[in-house]
Structure 1
Amino acid sequence: GLVLFSATDGVRIFNPEFAKICGGIPQDELAGKSPRDLFPQGAADKLQAGIERKIKEPSFDGVELALPGTDGKEHLYRVSLYVFLDRQEQDAAKEAPLPGSVVAIFKDITRFRRQAQKAQERQHHLMEALVRAVEYVDPNLVGHTRKMRHVAELLARHMELDNTAVLTLRMASQLSQIGKIFVPHHLLRKSGKLTPEEQQAVLQSSEYAFRVLYGINFGLPVPEALHDMNEKFDGSGPRALKGDQINPHARLLAVVNAFCSMVSDRAYRQGMPISQALDILSSSPAFDPAIVLALREIPAEDLRAALAGEDDSSQA
């Protein structure tokens, strides 16, 4: 659907598809109508606000509207907005600012959105199954990925990372232990200190995770983040990557993974205080010091809340 809205005169030009979107309003009555004359109040207010914002802020690209369809079902439209000045307005605009007009292009994205939601649901169920499989292999990991998800998101937002990074870290946290399914189980359940050879065997879990998840389309660099998670900032990890050679998401996950492990109770020991865990992380060359410092800046009560947070995986 295509329509030209004037900030002062309402609908000026439209095509037949836009008329269909407007429902039962005859085409010869559309001229001069404002969004509030055409659509339900919530959608109309959102579109009107979008038009006004577009005129003031040219970089603004559009809105999404839920509108009733001719089939009696609700349809979701992506409405792209473009500022428009005709020749007369262009000439007048040279002398004084004009309210302007906006071209709105309506695209029905209902089917696309439903397909995306179904794909997300399938992905969520797959992730839940993988997490359960890991927790079955190593009882010490029950609840560990939940804690990691909360703390990783808290830390990412504290560091003012963008939404893509937050989503990547949230998903990677949930799958961070999947590679341990392929690690000898007796090593995961060993209560004493691991030998250097045993430690290397456990650290190979990140390579296994990468191989398992690489073929899944997450739409985010989740496998890459997990591939480097067991690397050490000083280069002592399984693939000897060092410093900035390590994926930045993986460096954050490594800090969060170690922190959550240290402060959590295990069958053979009690979890240590948050302050002690932070001191150990700060003194270790294995972790990115900038990320550890950012974690230290978060109030202890916020970290406790994240560690004890209720499971919101369905919402995520």
Structure 2
Amino acid sequence: MDWIERIAGIRRWTRAGERAPHKPLLLLYVLGRFQHHGNQPIAFSAAEAELKRLLKEYGPARDTSPGYPFHHLTSDGLWLVNSTEGHGSPGSELGRLRETQAAGRLHPDLARALTEEPHLLARIARYLLDANFAPSLHADLCLMVGLDLETLETAETTATNGVAVRRDPAFREQVLMAYEYCCAFCAYDGWLDGTAVGLDAAHVRWWAFDGPDELANGLCLCVIHHKLFDKGVLGLTADRTVTVSARFVGRTAAARDMVLSLAGRPTREPQPGLEAVEAAHIEWHGRQVFRTPARNG
């Protein structure tokens, strides 16, 4: 059985293309538990707060109940839920999940495969990360769910329906060169022994959501602004000025200088003759990642 293919086919709630990483987040959480405790039942009452935090940190801006993935993942043949009412989930309503002492665990076939194939857990985790989240978020997300990053595959290759998909290794250098090795938001341009340090090639539309490895989808950003961009603290307007989420709070001078002062600032443009970020990718980031509303200044 190809478990990667099974996981790639999990059913998602959809509305106008909105991101819905609820089931992938639950699976990553469960894999972290499996890595350390095996396939012990996970009581909803014990997992609720952690799932809520994961959804808030890594899900879309709208609020989502942790009961939603805990219940609905059962429809994909990967996850079983039992309660005091017997076999089967009592539903996604929080009160019912608590009252019936609902608990979930991986399907025994998947748990057996994870035990028999030592590398399968890493492959599944890597697939879930690559298919649903920007690379700058992977390490923090794994730490939050308790997955050991050192066991994950390092090759930036994943499989979808049996077809290998590989990242373009030239993307980073293409983007950094276009922006002259300078952060498009803050103008940071550090070097060490002839090598640029602390600079990333950021995807505006995430690669996991059909964002191409092309200059028109890239920005050269310093590592802190890359992380804030992928977390939705920072965004872009159609005319490529920086937006700052009104939800962001920073009280120190460092936060004001590094983040709040960026509101309304034009981004650095690429070298003459090279493509700037396409409006369609900016619009995707604004809908799917940026935490609205934007500050007025």
Q: TM-score range by the shorter chain?
A: under 0.3
- Higher relative contact order, structure no. (Cα contacts within 8 Å, ≥ 6 residues apart): 2
Q: Which has the higher helix share?
A: 1
Q: With structure 2 as the length reference, what TM-score do the two structures score? A: 0.27
Normalised TM-score (structure 1): 0.26
